[in-house]
Amino acid sequence: MADIDARLREDVHLLGELLGNTIRDQHGADFLEKIERIRKSAKAGRHGSTQSTEQLSSNLESLGEDELLPVARAFNQFLNLANIAEQYQLIHRRDDSKPQPFESRVLPELLERLKQSGQSSEALARQLGKLEIELVLTAHPTEVARRTLIQKYDAIAAQLAALDHRDLNRLEREQITERLQRLIAEAWHTEEIRRIRPTPVDEAKWGFAVIENSLWQAIPNYLRKADHALHAATGLHLPLGAAPIRFASWMGGDRDGNPNVTAAVTREVLLLARWMAADLYLRDVDQLAAELSMQQASPALMAASGDSAEPYRSVLKQLRERLRATRNWAHASLSVTQPAPEGVLHNNRDLLDPLQLCFQSLHACGMGVIADGPLLDCLRRAVTFGLFLVKLDVRQDSTRHSSAMTEITDYLGLGRYNEWDENARIEFLLRELSNKRPLLPAHFKPAAETAEVLATCREVAAAPAASLGSYVISMAGAASDVLAVQLLLKEAGLQRPMRVVPLFETLADLDNAGPVIEHLLSLPGYRLRLHGPQEVMIGYSDSAKDAGTTAAAWAQYRAQEKLVEICRAQQVELLLFHGRGGTVGRGGGPAHAAILSQPPGSVAGRFRTTEQGEMIRFKFGLPDIAEQNLNLYLAAVLEATLQPPPMPKPAWRTMMDELAADGVNAYRAVVRENPEFVEYFRQATPEQELGRLPLGSRPAKRREGGVESLRAIPWIFAWTQTRLMLPAWLGWEDALSKALERGEGALLAQMREQWPFFRTRIDMLEMVLAKADSDIAQLYDERLVEPGLQHLGAHLRDLLSQACSVVLGLTGQSQLLAHSPETLEFISLRNTYLDPLHLLQAELLARSRVQDASLDSPLVQALLVSVAGIAAGLRNTG
């Protein structure tokens, strides 16, 4: 721990000093001294100095209009640099005397443990090789940093790595420090805030950049180490075609409530993915063609090369020409739709076969050491990413499908679909699904919304099957929701099976998920159209916003249990898709623990989950960090498959029923039933101002209205900015307190010790409470909330205090996260820079609400920078 602290503080001090140099160069020594006074006041205030806290407030309130933006920018950049330093601590070089981090040890240790528990070598190798984990990258508007800044931050991390060598001489250290100084200056002189809201295509390009700059390297690296761990434990290797972790995306396919995602956008993103994939493989194949100059080859390779003197180069150059043709065609098709010329790669086998032929030939000719180098890496990328890079999911709200069906049935003179009961809808849909004639005449001219739904279905029908993932129906509530999409896809000409996935989001929908799927599986003809597992998506964000995390977590667990039971009885494979957010309030949290806490049988070699917003960058933005997180996913899914957690005892179920009932009542009493709540929320948080922040392509609201109309992301984002963190804990304080009052503390302790589901919920609750700060939240109230509503803020802070007390009582600690001093150190490090930003943000909000300032004004720019800085400092937004 001392080593980590010393390293971290050393790196933060260096980066802060270099940032200070940059600020002094632009704004002068006096301004830098003012920044330093603010920082020192914040630090002293954190250590209990009331005078320093008052001085901090005074310094911030006295800032002139021209100083607001540079002060906000200074602390924002400090926090981003602290993030870089902290992230590097996870992957810094360790000599042989230092233990490897948990993320690097987790798979080898698990394999050894599984062997000792009686698993055979063959069974372990077989299960590891056939795991199906799919991480679905989503572009929800939580990635605050611009892509150009992210690239500079990655370059800074690379220089910290270069500095992490004890044998550097003075000149080498000076050169690295100079590069760091230059990079920090470049970041300082780059605007943090986008001037224009990104388009869905921009978001897709951002996702592709994460693959290009990080995952492209991380995938073969983690597979190489997994193969090594498997061989060390069992003597066996991963099959050449194993790709335990693959990627899908919602970027350019998620049209739920986002009018900017159209059929044309989906088509463009699919083509961009093919263009990017071909370009990345071209780089690999160019390198391989240069390196594989050997002459000895297998008969199969010699035949493929036409008996060339350099058979490997000959085969790879043929592949290179086809990749060029594919790239050129995909790029040209972005402008004008055109048929693919001869040579364009359409099937993943066209990519894999020549690579495998070279690989097998090298091994057959005694050159395995060459085959197992960059060629093996390229093969593993090809198996993982294929020709289409990521599978694109399509998502749309169920009401859009229902409206389209209503317009169609109305046009056909059959009545209005949305007025029919469920039985009538199903009878109609089943009849039309089995009917060989088209439903609609060619001259049908639908309204704009229906036309867009039909156009999307046509794009799905036209796209290669391997380029698409699932069609997700948000706010699904009935079997007819799935059948309606199947019928619309059939009408668009889809000739192949596609997974149509109901997403159950609200508390009521989660409780109804089992009966809906049971009904679906019993319908005539449905099983024939299934072709693979029944996929069901569990919504974490909206269920938590609807009912609070206590009731939502238990509803999600019970829904999964019921779905496992139903599919097992029906002898249908089940694939659960977890719509988890980045934050605890939206079902987020450490993935490894979360997977191991799922109901037994729900992770049966398959796991699909969303990776959202800024968490993509934090978990996969650097190759070494990505490798660690891929290891965690791999180990957790393997362990949950082979050693599932215990079934909850009847007493635990009864307790969770009571906790959920008390939790939802307490949550809704505040959020839904208090008539003052919505107005207080809008005054106390930057919720209204967040709508001005050009983050993602999606609107902040689905429709006009109160809290129920907000998307889950800005709902969480707003409370995070003020440090009250309300959505993540509200309801737990009442539920746990009542259980303790009933004398059930021993049962709660037993659940926490023996039941991974409950332990993980309490651990995540403790984490978010450690980041919450009642004093900061009070400062916002005092500056922004009218006196008549401030009593509500005081009440909520009392509830926060109650939540902290009850969790400390449950964990037996005197301080939140006392068991994790490293995490406490990271939080403490950031608070010094966060406190001035919070106070500054409250001041900026107060000023902006009495002025009609434009987006380009220093006041609004400073406010937006403060939002970005706080998001960076807390390492989560929504």
- Would you tell me how many other CB atoms lie within 10 Å of the CB of residue 427? 13
Does the CA dihedral 528-248-595-696 come out positive or negative?
negative
Tokens describing residue 759: 């332990």
Catalytic member of 545, 578, 619, 838: 545
Whether residue 818 sits in one domain with residue 673:
yes
pLDDT beneath 50, residues of the chain: 1-3, 141-144, 582-588, 700, 877-878
β-strand partners of 76: none
Whether residue 166 sits in one domain with residue 42:
yes
Answer whether residue 866 is part of any domain.
yes
Answer whether residue 610 is part of any domain.
no
Mention every residue, 6+ apart, whose C-beta is less than 8 A from residue 137.
207, 210, 247, 248, 249, 250, 251, 390, 610, 611, 616
Whether residue 51 sits in one domain with residue 158:
yes
Give the pLDDT of residue 141. Answer: 47
Closest by CA to 259, choosing from 403, 456, 406, is: 456
Residue type at 834 in one-letter notation: L
Provide the CA 251 distance to its chain's centre, in angstroms. 12
Instruction: Give, for 851, the enclosing helix (H) or strand (E).
Output: none
d(CA 707, CA 725): 15
Tell me, yes or no, if 140 is annotated catalytic.
Answer: yes
Task: Give the CA diameter of the chain.
Answer: 88
Instruction: Report CA-CA distances (Å) from 762 to 468, 637, 640, 802, 807.
Output: 37, 21, 20, 15, 8
Whether residue 162 sits in one domain with residue 82:
yes
Place of tokens 């250590």: 47
Instruction: Give, for 789, the enclosing helix (H) or strand (E).
Output: none
d(CA 137, CA 140): 9
Tokens describing residue 462: 């036209």
Closest by CA to 838, choosing from 795, 767, 781, is: 781
Whether residue 182 sits in one domain with residue 281:
no
Closest by CA to 294, choosing from 317, 313, 307, is: 313
d(CA 743, CA 737): 10
Q: What CATH number should be reported for the domain holding residue 375? A: 1.20.1440.90
Does the CA dihedral 268-270-276-278 come out positive or negative?
negative
Q: How many CA atoms lie within 13 A of 104 on its CB side?
A: 12
d(CA 280, CA 566): 43
Whether residue 316 sits in one domain with residue 172:
no
- Would you tell me how many other CB atoms lie within 10 Å of the CB of residue 34? 19
- Would you tell me how many other CB atoms lie within 10 Å of the CB of residue 641? 18
> Three-class SS of residue 391?
strand
Answer whether residue 614 is part of any domain.
no
Summarize pLDDT for 449-508 with one digit per residue, the tens. 999 999 999 999 999 999 999 999 999 999 999 999 999 999 999 989 899 999 999 999
* DSSP sequence for 420-457: S-HHHHHHHHHHHHT-SS-SS-TT----HHHHHHHHHH
d(CA 55, CA 49): 10
Judge contact between 546 and 663, C-beta under 8 A: no
Judge contact between 273 and 282, C-beta under 8 A: no
β-strand partners of 610: 136
Give the pLDDT of residue 586. Answer: 39
d(CA 266, CA 392): 9
d(CA 605, CA 639): 9
Answer whether residue 519 is part of any domain.
no
Whether residue 273 sits in one domain with residue 193:
no
Answer whether residue 295 is part of any domain.
yes
By residue count, the chain amounts to 878
Closest by CA to 631, choosing from 22, 104, 74, is: 104
Tokens describing residue 835: 């406190």
d(CA 863, CA 854): 12
Mention every residue, 6+ apart, whose C-beta is less than 8 A from residue 390.
137, 207, 211, 247, 248, 249, 273
Tell me, yes or no, if 205 is annotated catalytic.
Answer: no
Judge contact between 68 and 35, C-beta under 8 A: no
Judge contact between 505 and 537, C-beta under 8 A: no
Q: Fill in the DSSP letter of residue 168.
A: -
Q: What angle do CA 645, 648, 654 make, to 5 degrees?
A: 160
Judge contact between 758 and 751, C-beta under 8 A: yes
Whether residue 291 sits in one domain with residue 160:
no
> Three-class SS of residue 612?
strand
Q: How many domains does the chain divide into? A: 3
d(CA 754, CA 750): 6
The residue among 388, 416, 434 that closes a domain is 388
Q: How far apart are the first and last CA of the chain?
A: 30
Give the pLDDT of residue 590. Answer: 72
d(CA 386, CA 349): 9
Answer whether residue 592 is part of any domain.
no
Q: Fill in the DSSP letter of residue 644.
A: P
d(CA 541, CA 89): 31
Summarize pLDDT for 624-637 with one digit per residue, the tens. 899 999 999 999 99
* DSSP sequence for 657-710: HHHHHHHHHHHHHHHTT-TTHHHHHHHHSSHHHHTTS---SS-SBSSSSSGGGB
The residue among 171, 198, 225 that closes a domain is 198
Whether residue 322 sits in one domain with residue 181:
no
Judge contact between 487 and 439, C-beta under 8 A: yes
- Would you tell me how many other CB atoms lie within 10 Å of the CB of residue 58? 10
Catalytic member of 140, 401, 562, 578: 140
Answer whether residue 347 is part of any domain.
yes
Tokens describing residue 705: 């209205």
Judge contact between 298 and 360, C-beta under 8 A: yes
Tokens describing residue 803: 């939540």
The residue among 198, 215, 244 that closes a domain is 198
Answer whether residue 803 is part of any domain.
yes
Whether residue 791 sits in one domain with residue 657:
yes
> Residue 30 is part of which domain span?
2-127+141-198
